[in-house]
Structure 1
């Protein structure tokens, strides 16, 4: 379907075609046939290549506009109304293909609400109480006796429980929560469709990067609640929850879970598609897998975060993949 979409007549506007390619290639739906079609489109003339570069620069400009909005808002006194979580509007291809997008402030604001595939922070991220950018990690003391280690692309808002105790909401990303022995009551982390309670003198890892929330107990006592289900998570075990309920506990290697704290990523017999999805959270731009067979290859690897700029070359050398580098850190593997 995508190949037919981009084989339009020569009268089609090159800028619109380039913008459509950028959206499609970063959508997660592109195929190896699409990759070949894109290469042919890009190589057909210098005007085609220039149009794609301009499309990527437009995305960068919209990201800068979102950051500018954040800086302007930071100068004003901050008011914290009661948190409401409506569904954010999604960017349609028609919205981006419209020629007036770059000139319209309203459209800039709309795109900034939900940027494509984390090419820049959305306004929701920028207005959060705590956030980390791509590749960034930080430590914050969110409450007395509660320290949170934030991984890359993580957004946290502070709130209160029904009983009035300070709590946090992991809006997205990954965080490790460490509590002091003197903590008087368990600390609550709201995430996805449920919540996690971390007792005094405990440590747990909570990850919310998709429909399932992953909870791992690394020490002490951790429990979770999702709907009517309440589960105690044993040390060195992982339990996930989401719209379909709570999964069975699975034993894990704590050192693998803790590795990101040492700026290391460890993959043990995982599909390359999952490896690339994780790596994309740590590096600017995006690596896009275009070949289903390549995506299914199992990977045993250990990467330092400072090696991720070379990961496409490593995959090329290991699996014989073809690498196409595009402006803005977008890399196609096929």
Structure 2
């Protein structure tokens, strides 16, 4: 049975490598790949063999692809006519580019039945006034649905990402924040950070007081406290260092005695592509680290140098650490 297992693992490893180097892999693919690598030792060993082969042949293949592309560009420059098909292809590409420019705007009208949506791209941060007396600081890769009733903004739903919400002391109307399956009620003058990733949520209070209502239970959150909750339930309020927890507002990421796997998962929110740890022991290593957002392009190399990991760089910003 062992040769069969190895054959299966080798085939799957090559399939994964082809997909990861295609430039079309998604974040969910990254998590599925990580789980596959750690499912059994044969998988990780098979991928190590496939990766070693890719590192030998990859540069040569890339050079051939570059040379082939250069020849095709030269032929295109000498073409005397543009076919109707090429013209239509260009028109379609221009239309898609226009659509992407529209979607990159901070407001995306009609994205929710409630009114408008607010988005930031990967690596982007924005500040915006969402309603009279309500200001937002949106972190990277954040998706918010604005709740409206009769043309009046009544709240927001954080579908993904992270934001700091500030309620002006003079605002009289309530502003309800939904995050995961909880609802957050706050008094005027309150400020708090909300985060949602993979259906797990946290609420961190900066000032004033807020109350999380979830499954009929109310949990107050006071300044310098954080409450986390997910499908398994809601935790008690815990003291938190605001300078560390919200360092992203100063374009800094601080990690204090956290597993490297958790650190990498957070870093992936700030950079295109994905860093994937394929070695379970490496992912469990505890990390004390500080990065600036300007270092996100080289963060994989910094991790490699600091923790003795082996990094394989793939197209599309994907990096495999083992």
SS where residue 249 of structure 2 aligns? helix
Partner residue of 1:29? 35
What is the CA-CA distance between 1:36 and the residue it aligns to? Answer: 0.5
Q: Alpha-carbon deviation of 1:327?
A: 1.3
The reply to whether residue 83 of structure 1 matches residue 113 of structure 2 is yes
- Give me the whole-angstrom Cα distance separating, in 1, the residues matched to 2:228 and 2:94: 36
CA distance in 2, matches of 1:161, 1:236: 32
CA spacing shift, 1:333–1:159, aligned 2, 3 Å: same
- The separation in 2 between residues aligned to 1:167 and 1:240, in whole angstroms, is 21
Q: Which moved more, 1:227-236 or 1:267-276?
A: 227-236
Within 5 A, what are the aligned runs for 1:148-163?
Answer: 148-160=136-148
CA contact (8 A) 2:30 2:274 kept: no
Tell me how far apart the structure 1 counterparts of residues 5 and 30 of structure 2 sit (CA, whole Å). Answer: 10
| 1:285 maps to which of 270, 273, 297 | 273
Tell me if 1:299 matches 2:280. no
Alignment of 1:141 with 2:129, yes or no, is yes
Q: 1:20 to 1:289 in 2, by over 3 A?
A: closer
Q: Tell me the CA shift for residue 46 of structure 1.
A: 5.8
Residue 39 of structure 1 is matched in structure 2 by: 51
Which residue number corresponds to residue 19 of structure 1? 19
Deviations 1:170-218 (A, max 9, x none): 1100000011110103321111111112321111000001222101111
Change (3 A) 1:142 1:331: same
Residue 40 of structure 1: how far off its partner (Å): 4.0
* Deviating 4+ runs (over 6 angstroms): 14-17, 63-67
Alpha-carbon distance in 1 for matches of 2:289, 2:133: 36
Residue 223 of structure 1 aligns to a residue in which SS?
Answer: strand
Measured in 1, the distance between the counterparts of 2:207 and 2:166 equals 9
Q: Verify the 8 A CA contact 1:172 1:209 in the aligned structure 2.
A: yes
User: What is the CA–CA distance in structure 2 between the aligned matches of 1:287 and 1:49, rounded to whole Å?
Assistant: 23
Classify 1:66/1:280 alpha carbon distance in 2 versus 1 (closer, same or farther; 3 Å).
Answer: farther
Which residues of 2 match residues 124-203 of structure 1 at below 5 A?
Answer: 129-160=117-148, 166-203=154-191
Q: 1:81 to 1:211 in 2, by over 3 A?
A: closer
Displacement of 1:38 after TM fit?
Answer: 2.7
Matched ranges for 1:69-80 at <5 A: 69-71=99-101, 80=110
The answer to whether the aligner puts 1:266 opposite 2:254 as a matched pair is yes
Aligned pairs for 1:44-123 (under 5 A) are 45=57, 49=61, 69-71=99-101, 80=110, 83=113
Q: 1:161 to 1:266 in 2, by over 3 A?
A: farther
Superposition deviation, residue 241 in structure 1: 2.3
Secondary structure of the residue aligned to 2:185 is: strand
Q: Which residue number corresponds to residue 223 of structure 2?
A: 235
Once the two structures are overlaid, the 10-residue window that deviates more, 30-39 or 205-214, is 30-39
Residue 324 of structure 1: aligned partner: 312
Structure 1 length normalisation: TM-score? 0.71
Equivalent pair of 2:109/2:117 in contact (CA under 8 Å): no
